[in-house]
Amino acid sequence: MPKLKIQNSKVETHKKNKDPLSENELGRLIIKFLEYCIVERGHSELTGRNYLHYLNRFYAFAKKHSISSPRQITLDMVHNWRMELATSKIDNKTLSKKTINYHAIALRSFLKYLAKNDIDSLAPEKVELAQQAQRNISFLEPEEVDELMMAYCGKNLLSLRNRAILEVLFSTGMRVSELATLRRDEVNIERGEFSVGGKGGRRRVVFLSPDAQMWIGRYIRRRKDKAKWLFLGGRRGYKKKKEHDKKRQIGHISVRQIERIVQAGAKKAGIVKKVSPHTLRHAYATDLLSNGADIRSVQAMLGHASITTTQIYTHVTNRRLKKIHEKYHKKRVTS
């Protein structure tokens, strides 16, 4: 099957054969759609790669069934493709409903692109998404957050970095990918606020708590390097560097390293539930809501495009509503 790839914000093909995707109209339109997503819509390369991955599978199915034009895409064909995704094992695993829905979302976006360009095909609204069970999120109780923070209370540079990372995650609700690539000049520690670029290029303002400001300050003051990154990766910068290493660029911390820091901290704190950087994002939202913040404000601070995404935290508002009901609803005692 022809394979697409994303290279330097452009869509290219693996050239095992001579221009394989040019062999039919459907393949050429998929390439144009992916270029449109990145260049004109401004989607991130990660989104582009995901669309590429899902539409490669759709293209392979279409080719196998001699479908070479968007005009040949029918509801039955899409149904059969989704059935194949649901019943086939990929890398010895069956795809989840959520993953199959991602495939359907990519296809629906492609069909919307075709409709926008007056190319006859299946109407995008005919591709429905499967219903999924409501997400059951994992969050930390306030005392567990405190215990996690205390897991890193040493005075060496590595411990200071790890504590500062935990404090910033909980204080801002940032995604781990946003935190990993923060530059020193982007963060105003004194003012306790700065902007970050989230999904879809949407920027939002986040705020540092006094604790986060203090631990970042301690970490930065102990550093001797001039690296541009707020958090350095590995143990680079924590040991005396050899002469031939002095000119090397010190890299930022990786997402995986942050995950390990959080997991190790949870283990030290004796927290038995699974804890990840995203758990601290959940704890941040839960803390705001349980202390009276409205859900629209929390949506803005988390950088969610849709209020529906923020509504996974209704377990908190439901708990508050119960307390209000108990306090204000007339109590009747009947015998």
Least Cα distance to 41 among 101, 116, 128, 120 occurs for 116
Contact call for residues 43 and 49 (beta carbons, < 8 A): no
For the question of residue 329 being annotated catalytic, the response is: no
State the alpha helices, DSSP H only, in the chain: 25-35, 45-64, 75-87, 97-116, 142-149, 157-172, 176-180, 210-222, 255-269, 277-290, 295-302, 307-310, 314-328
Catalytic residue selected from 54, 281, 282, 284: 281
- Count Cβ neighbours within 10 Å for each residue of 155-182 and write b for 16 or more, e otherwise: eebbebbbbbbbbbbbbbbbbbebbbbb
Catalytic residue selected from 43, 82, 175, 282: 175
Q: Tell me the two tokens of residue 42.
A: 């401004």
For the question of residue 199 being annotated catalytic, the response is: yes
**Contacts of 142 by beta carbon, 8 Å cutoff, 6+ apart:** 287
- What are the two backbone dihedrals, phi and then psi, of residue 135, each rounded to the nearest 5 degrees? -60, 135
CA distances from 18 to 15, 264, 274 (A): 6, 50, 49
Match 């690296």 to its residue by tokens. 227
What distance lies between CA 306 and its chain's CA centroid? 14
- What are the two backbone dihedrals, phi and then psi, of residue 7, each rounded to the nearest 5 degrees? -140, 120
Catalytic residue selected from 112, 199, 223, 241: 199
Least Cα distance to 310 among 295, 324, 289, 332 occurs for 295
**Using CB atoms within 10 A of its CB, is residue 42 exposed (0-12), middle (13-18) or buried (19+)?**
exposed
Overall size of the chain counted in residues: 335
For the question of residue 281 being annotated catalytic, the response is: yes
Q: For residue 77, what are the β-bridge partners?
A: none
Q: Is 201 left (phi over 0), alpha (psi -120 to 50) or beta?
A: left
For the question of residue 102 being annotated catalytic, the response is: no
The residues that are catalytic are 175, 199, 278, 281, 304, 313
